[in-house]
Structure 1
Amino acid sequence: MILRVLMAAGLASFAVPALAACPQELAVYESGDGQTALNFTAGGGAMAMSHEIRILFRGAGPVTAYVQPGAAFGQPEMVLPVNCPEGDVTGDELAACIVYRSVVHAVDAQGVPGELPAGGEPAAQAVLLPNFAASVWRHPAFGDDGPPEPPAEILLLTGCQE
Structure 2
Amino acid sequence: MLKKEWENHPNNFKMISKRIPQYNAKQIRQRWKNHLDPNLCHDPLDEAEKSFIIQWVKANQTTPNATIHWKDLISAMKNRFGKLRSENKIKNFWYPKQRSLKPENRIEQEIQQEVDYERTEYDDRNDITSLQLSYESLLLPILSYT
- Report the TM-score range of the alignment, normalised by the length of the smaller protein: under 0.3
Specify the structure having the higher radius of gyration (Cα). Answer: 2
Identify the structure with the greater strand proportion.
Answer: 1
Q: TM-score, normalised by structure 1?
A: 0.22
- Which structure is higher in RCO with an 8 Å CA cutoff and minimum separation 6? 1
Q: TM-score, normalised by structure 2?
A: 0.24
